[in-house]
């Protein structure tokens, strides 16, 4: 009986070390991008803040945009997949979704993210808000075809609205929601205290209500 011989017994340990380094770089970049802005943070700054060599980002990710994509997907893949599941459920129904159902399909996954990862979730939302304002191409790659399938449900809800007007105003409304949510802690801090979990929930609910009401006025 013959068997194969592992010619590289250190491979599992090397892989674990590589995964740990990538995770370290992603979390460091997430913090820096959220605090200082995506455009203001260099690859060199990420490497230095992570306490790693000057070629670490290039070795593990390739480019800054590749690192940015990894930051988006680290927490964002779960948000994207949950929104997609919500939208698919709406698509499977014979009748068109209501505006509240559309809004909840998009916003509930954000609520769940913040309930599980408040600090990192707020950082991630801050980064997404920055990129949405710039219409950054990395968002399209991270979201895959989510915008298209979601917009189809919006058209079902507002069949009489001009398609161009509908797409523009839907995108604008979501951007305003993200911008407001990204500043939730900043605005609550102005009251002189660190916002509690309840403060954040109330703020979130207010923004969801505002989003639904604004869309109703904009698209009907």
Q: What is the pLDDT of residues 44-58, one digit of tens each?
A: 999 999 999 999 999
Angstrom distance (rounded) from CA 52 to CA 138: 25
Nearest to 35, CA basis, from 44, 20, 45? 45
Residue 38 token pair: 């995506």
- Of 74, 70, 103, 63, the closest CA to residue 87 belongs to 103
Q: What is the distance between the alpha carbons of residues 45 and 1, in angstroms, rounded to a whole number?
A: 54
Q: At 8, list the tokens.
A: 């590289």
Distance, CA of 163 to CA of 154 (rounded, Å): 10
Q: What is the pTM of this model?
A: 0.86
pLDDT, tens digit, 9 for 90 and up, residues 4-43: 445 555 556 567 778 899 999 999 999 999 999 999 999 9
Calculate the alpha carbon distances from 100 to 41, 61, 129 in Å: 38, 40, 22
167-215 pLDDT per residue, tens: 999 999 999 999 999 988 777 665 656 677 888 888 999 999 999 999 9
């Amino acid at each position: 009986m013959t068997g194969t011989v592992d010619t590289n017994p250190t491979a599992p340990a090397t892989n674990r070390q590589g995964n740990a380094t990538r995770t370290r770089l992603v979390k460091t970049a997430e913090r820096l991008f959220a605090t200082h802005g995506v455009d203001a943070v260099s690859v060199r700054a990420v490497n230095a803040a992570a306490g790693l060599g000057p070629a670490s980002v290039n070795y593990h990710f390739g480019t800054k945009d590749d690192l940015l994509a990894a930051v988006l997907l680290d927490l964002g893949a779960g948000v994207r997949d949950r929104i997609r599941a919500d939208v698919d459920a709406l698509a499977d129904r014979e009748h068109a979704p209501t505006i509240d159902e559309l809004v909840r399909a998009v916003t509930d996954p954000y609520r769940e993210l913040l309930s599980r990862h408040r600090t990192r979730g707020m950082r991630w939302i801050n980064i997404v808000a920055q990129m949405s304002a710039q219409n950054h191409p990395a968002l399209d790659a991270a979201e895959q075809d989510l915008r298209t399938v979601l917009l189809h449900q919006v058209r079902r809800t507002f069949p009489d609205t001009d398609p161009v007007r509908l797409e523009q105003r839907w995108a604008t409304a979501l951007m305003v929601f993200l911008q407001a949510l990204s500043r939730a802690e900043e605005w609550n801090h102005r009251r002189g205290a660190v916002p509690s979990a309840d403060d954040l929930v109330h703020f979130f609910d207010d923004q969801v209500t505002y989003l639904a009401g604004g869309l109703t006025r904009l698209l009907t």
